[in-house]
Amino acid sequence: MAEKELRQIVERAVAQALDRQLPKLQAELVERVLSELPSGTTAGDGSAPASAQGNLVQAVANVHAGTTQKEILRALLDGGSAYAARVALFVVKAGAANGWQSRGLGDDESIKDFSLDMNSGPAIHAYQNRVPTPANSAEMDRRFIDRFGGPSNEQILMLPLVLKDKVAALLYADGGDSGQMDTPSLELLVLATSSWLEVTSLRKQVQKDVGDSVPMDRVMERPAALVQTVSSFSDPFASHAPKHTAAKAPEPEPAAEVVEVSAHAASASAAASAPAAAADPFAGMSAEDADTHRKAQRFARLLVDEIKLYNQAKVAEGRRNKDLYDRLKDDIEKSRATFTKRYGSTAAASGDYFQKEVVRSLAEDDLSVMGATFKK
């Protein structure tokens, strides 16, 4: 069978698998959000009517209806405006938090030319600790308060939007003139948005990588895993660099309109700016051998990413207790066998890519966390 024809078959199989699995993922995310609801927000205890829960579920559903990062983030702001009089989203890049859009601050685009002070206050606390941070407006960036005003009760909230263990954006919220703000609902809405951004990003990455990274037996046997097994994480905010004009703010990336760029264009740009030796470590090999080494690297990352995604709790516990290999031995060795079967007799065997990826990704380059039973 020709490679082109095989690729088309795999792409169709993956597309069908994703179409079947996305509704299930959406339902699971909704259930996860609802399971996080504090007891004080349930109907029947006198603190919140059932309609409030219904509105929150609808807000989450609107987030999940988004298919692009713009649609998802706009749904977050629209939904958040039901639980706070004023909300604003700041995209974090290179230590700078640049305004993207807002609700309740006047024009939705008015925040675009504002760069938030990340040197102190609730912004830096939420960013560094990755936790929702309530604060007094006096602690907020003074330039922000001078320009947009503050809430009547002086209470504000800064929420981190975390993707792949990194804060990709900060959501500012306050109660405006009324001073009313529903903090738990805002936290849950941000959690749902983070989850859905990861799902949509993983879906795009799978569709990009599936041609030569996913073996046919995995497509047929474990379609659900395709949503999560990716060779690398595509950052949904990678192309976000809103316009801004700021004084005494961290040095931002070059200003540009918020646009979506293809992964191909982004990788081409990175390759053009990198030194030739760093861009192609296989430059001295034949074209065929170099291609085999690259595919082996991608496949190793795919396998280890799958281990991480299916065993997040074990990974965290193993790193903490320095017995990671004992906790994940079956998964690691099963994936090692899969890698060896595919690349063990090829030119890439000498690269030992699976072992290197286990240490790099699972152990974060710290061999000690793998434990004494791990063979180095």
Q: For residue range 184-193, what is the model confidence (pLDDT) as tens digits?
A: 999 999 988 9
Structure confidence at residue 90 (pLDDT): 94
Position 155 scores a pLDDT of 93
33: number of Cβ within 10 Å: 21
Retrieve residue 128's tokens: 């560094």
Q: What is the pLDDT of residues 90-115, one digit of tens each?
A: 999 888 899 999 999 988 888 987 99
Q: In this model, does residue 179 exceed pLDDT 90?
A: no
- Categorize the per-residue pLDDT at 270 as very low, low, confident or very high, splitting at 50, 70 and 90: very low
Give the mean pLDDT of 19-37. Answer: 60
Average pLDDT, whole number, for the chain?
A: 76
237 pLDDT tier (thresholds 50, 70, 90):
low
Provide the pLDDT confidence category of residue 34 given band limits of 50, 70 and 90.
low
**Rounded Cα distance, 338 and 302, in Å:** 11
Q: How confident is the model at residue 348 (pLDDT cuts 50, 70, 90)?
A: very high
**Torsion region of 365: left, alpha or beta (phi above 0 gives left; psi -120 to 50 gives alpha):** left
Task: Give the pLDDT band of residue 41 (cuts 50, 70, 90).
Answer: very low
- pLDDT at 366 exceeding the cut of 70: yes
Greater model confidence, 161 or 8: 161
Please say if the pLDDT value at position 269 is more than 80: no
pLDDT, residue 202, reads: 73
pLDDT at residue 278 greater than cutoff 90? no
Q: Which of 91, 94, 171 is nearest to 126 (CA)?
A: 171
The answer to whether 122 touches 116, Cβ cutoff 8 Å, is: no
Percent of the residues in the chain that have a pLDDT greater than 90, as a whole number: 39
- Strand locations in 94-212 (E): 96-103, 115-116, 133-136, 155-163, 166-174
Q: Which residue has the higher pLDDT, 268 or 199?
A: 199
Look at residue 35 in the predicted model and tell me its pLDDT. 58
Mean pLDDT of 43-47: 39
Model confidence band, residue 282 (pLDDT cutoffs 50, 70, 90): confident
**Are the beta carbons of 87 and 171 closer than 8 angstroms?**
yes
Instruction: Kindly tell me the number of DSSP H helices and DSSP E strands found in the chain.
Output: 13, 6
Domains and CATH numbers, the chain: 13-200 (3.30.450.40), 286-376 (no CATH)
Minimum mean pLDDT among 49-58, 78-87, 297-306: which range?
49-58
* Residues in the chain, total: 376
Q: Which two tokens stand for residue 353?
A: 């890519």
What does the pLDDT read at residue 67? 83
Which segments of 214-286 does DSSP mark as H helices, in order? 216-221, 263-273, 276-279
**Pairwise CA distance, residues 35 & 27, whole Å:** 12
Read off the pLDDT of each residue in 135-141 and give the average, rounded to a whole number: 91
Candidates 93, 70, 99; CA nearest to 245 is 99
Backbone dihedral region for residue 149 (phi beyond 0: left; psi -120 to 50: alpha; all else: beta):
left
- Specify the higher pLDDT residue, 244 or 94: 94
